[in-house]
Structures are given as structure tokens and as C-alpha cells.
Amino acid sequence: MIDLSINGLPVSVPEGTTILDAARFADIPIPTLCHHPKLTPYGGCRLCIVDVKGINRPVTSCTTPVAAGMEVTTTSPTIEKLRKTILELILSDHPNDCMVCEKAGDCTLQELAYFYGIRENRLDGERRVYAKKDDNPFIERNMEKCILCGKCVRICDEVQGVGAIDIAYRGFNAKVCPPFEKNLDCEFCGQCVSVCPTGALTGKAWGQRGRQKDIKEIETICPYCGCGCSITLHVRRNEVIRVSSREDTLNEGWLCPKGRFGYSFINNAARLKTPLIREEGQLKEATWDEALDFIADRLGKVKAKYGADSIAGLSSARCTNEENYLFQKFMRAAVGTNNVDHCARL
């Protein structure tokens, strides 16, 4: 363990811990924009600067490992002035249209601007203006709002292993984009969307369906496959308007395109809500009891006439392990056949 002091408070953390993690461990806040606990430290936004005694310039706490006897100061008038300049610079190149931005209320940049009280900006100047170009049904990319924190690039590479985007160009024109600025054509898992601290990356389906006000967040399990990822439904007026996933869950906040963006079926008018039984060529609504009785009756008759091995069962990858276990148990014990299979094998 390494002993150091942060703002005069003694802290003891394992070797290799960054100053930022040590501070968070001690519940001392440090603002960050480009840091993500699961990604390689980046050091791009420079907001997490702190003073270390004996070093003549501020260091970024997210990249600097602790050392024995280190004396760290996380806040001082000088440090806060530097952070404020950095925020002013970011905001000087930002559309500042929080009024209509999808991300308002859940935006790290907006929150920092609020805490640092930045209204007039002495550093105003040219802003990047980009024509939007993205023909995909999932991810809305508004790169004028991008602060180049690089989280999307890193998550796509380090977590998803896809590498669909990177930073191109230099200087003020640096820009996150797919190769040769083509249309984004990737797996559309939306991991990038989930880590973007600003409104640069959002879901296409989220647009004007509601932001943070009047939203109920409901924890549930994704119904798409047997993995059982934890998801959070953002519900407004009894309608799911967005899906996210928390980092402290089994799936660590990562989702696939279906789980993250494929929720429109929930309120679809064509969605099945009761069992249907076909009578004289016509599907008719039935109760569950009627349907189950019908199935039991027919299975019994088939088995009596042709034997149990004339029946086969096929289950689904969208069922849980437990459901699949029950299904094969039912086929073997109740029906009496080993003819059971699963769609994921086909």
C-alpha cells in the first residue's frame, strides 16, 4: 500500500492507483470529462489537474500514479482558475443550445458549466460547423457538440474491439469520424453513445420524446436473449422512451444494438397480447387457460395415437436458462421424448 496525503488527509491505496482514483476513494471530488474507469487513461480534457508538492506544474490526476509521501492538493484558486479557462475554451467551441439539446440535464459539460458559473465567455471565437451525414437508424451524431474526449474511440476499440471511429485531422479541425468520413457503418452497439459526456452522440429514437423531467427509471432485464443483461427503462407517461444500462451491473453497462435500441416493439399496435387459437382457419383471441388446455389436449391425443417420439420441441434463445431447463424437463419428463432442440443451434 502507498501512503499519501490529499488535501492534508492521509490516504492509503494500492500501488499503481492513480491520484484520481485515490481521491475518489477518499470521497474527494475532482472534475473530469475524458476519464472512464474502464478505459485506458487519456489525459485529454485536462480538467482533473491537481497540484503535487515538488512538481512545478499541475499534473493530471487521471494519468498520474500515486507515490509514497506525495502531497496532493485538488483545489486552490490557481487550479480552479485553470479549470475555468479550460471550460471556457470548450464552451467557446460549443453550440450552447442546451435549450433544445437531447442531453440537457444528463450532460457532464452542462453540469460543469453550471458549477463554474460560465455565462459570458471572454474566449468566444470561431466554432466548428459540420454538415450532418449519418444514414443509420440507431446513432445520432452531432459532432459540433463533440469535445474530443476520446471516450467513444476508446470504448469502441478497447471494449467492443471494433475500431469503427478515430480522431482525424489536426488542430482545431480534429474530429472523431469513421474512416474517410464515410457514413458510420458498424455494429451499432451504442457503447459510444453510453459514454459520451455531451449531446454529441445520442439515440436516433430518443429525439424529442422526453429528456430528464417526468422520467421514471425502471430496472429490468433485457428480454432479447439468455444473457440477461440488466437494463434501465426510461419511462415517460407509460411509454419507454430510452434504454440504458448501469455500470454496476452484471453486464457492466455494455449492451448490444437490440437491447439498447430495439425497444420500439413495446408500444407497437401489432404486438401479441393474448394467445390466439386457430378455429376454422381464423385466429381467435383466447385466455391462457383455454390455450394451455387446448395444447395439453392435443399433445395427449398425438402421443396416445403415434407415441411420444412423434413429438419434438424447439425452444428459444430469448428464453432464460431456467425457462430452457424447464422446457427440456417438460419434453423429457411430461411428454417423454428426447426430441428437444434450440434455435441458437440451427
Partner 1 sequence: MKTDLVVRVCMGTGGIAAGGAEVMDAFKKHLRSKGVTARIEKNCTMHKVGCRGLCARDVLVDIVVNDSKTTYQFIKPAMVERIIDEHVINGKPVEEWTVPEDYHLFHNKQVKVVLSDCGSVDPEDIESYLNVKGYDALKQVVTTMSPAETIGVIRQSGLRGRGGAGFPTGTKWEICSKETSEHKYIICNADEGDPGAFMDRSVIEGNPHAVIEGMIIGAYSIGADAGYVYIRAEYPLAVERLKNALKEARKHKFLGKGILGTNFNFDIKIKLGAGAFVCGEETALIASIEGQRGMPRAKPPFPVYKGLWGKPTVINNVETLANVPYIIRKGAEWYSSFGTEKSKGTKVFALTGKIRNSGLIEVPMGIPLREIIYDIGGGIENDKAFKAVQTGGPSGGCIPSHLLDIKVDFESLASVGSIVGSGGMVVLDEGDCMVNIAKFFLQFTQSESCGKCVPCRIGTKRLLEILERITSGKGREGDIELLEDLARDIKATSLCGLGQTAPNPILSTIRYFRDEYEAHITKKKCPAGVCRDLLSYVILAEICKGCGACKKVCPAGAISGEKKQPHTIDADICVRCGACFEACKFRAIGKG
**Site of interaction with partner 1 (CB under 8 A):** 41-46, 49, 57-58, 60, 63-65, 81-82, 85-86, 89-90, 92-93, 122-123, 125-126, 147-148, 150, 166-167, 169-174
Closest CB to ligand FES among residues 63, 324: 63
Distance (Å, whole) CA 217 – CA 240: 10
Counting Cα atoms < 13 Å in the Cβ hemisphere of 174 gives 11
Task: Name the site residues for ligand FES (rule: CB under 6 A).
Answer: 32-35, 43-48, 60, 62
Using the rule CB under 6 A, give the single segment among 21-29, 181-189, 193-201, 265-273 that binds ligand SF4.
193-201
100, 172, 318 from 114: Cα distances, Å: 17, 25, 44
Closest CB to ligand SF4 among residues 2, 118: 118
201 lines the binding site for ligand SF4 (CB under 6 A): yes
User: Binds 35, which of ligand SF4, partner 1, ligand FES, none (CB < 5 to 8 A, cut-off by type)?
Assistant: ligand FES
User: Binds 48, which of ligand FES, partner 1, ligand SF4, none (CB < 5 to 8 A, cut-off by type)?
Assistant: ligand FES
Nearest Cα to Cα of residue 257 among 116, 139, 81: 139
Distance (Å, whole) CA 237 – CA 230: 22
Closest CB to partner 1 among residues 58, 259: 58
151 lines the binding site for ligand SF4 (CB under 6 A): yes
195 lines the binding site for ligand SF4 (CB under 6 A): yes
Closest CB to ligand SF4 among residues 152, 233: 152
Contact 84, 76 (CB under 8 A): no
User: Binds 81, which of ligand FES, ligand SF4, partner 1, none (CB < 5 to 8 A, cut-off by type)?
Assistant: partner 1
CB of 17 to ligand SF4, least distance (A): 24
Distance (Å, whole) CA 262 – CA 242: 10
For the chain, helix (H) and strand (E) counts, in that order, are 8, 16
User: Binds 19, which of ligand FES, ligand SF4, partner 1, none (CB < 5 to 8 A, cut-off by type)?
Assistant: none
Query: Hey, how many other C-beta atoms are within 10 angstroms of the C-beta on 28?
Result: 18
User: Binds 196, which of ligand FES, partner 1, ligand SF4, none (CB < 5 to 8 A, cut-off by type)?
Assistant: ligand SF4
Query: Hey, how many other C-beta atoms are within 10 angstroms of the C-beta on 126?
Result: 8
Contact 31, 60 (CB under 8 A): no
Distance (Å, whole) CA 316 – CA 324: 8
Query: Hey, how many other C-beta atoms are within 10 angstroms of the C-beta on 63?
Result: 16
Distance (Å, whole) CA 176 – CA 155: 13
Q: Which residues bind to ligand SF4, rule: CB under 6 A?
A: 146-152, 176, 195-198, 200-201
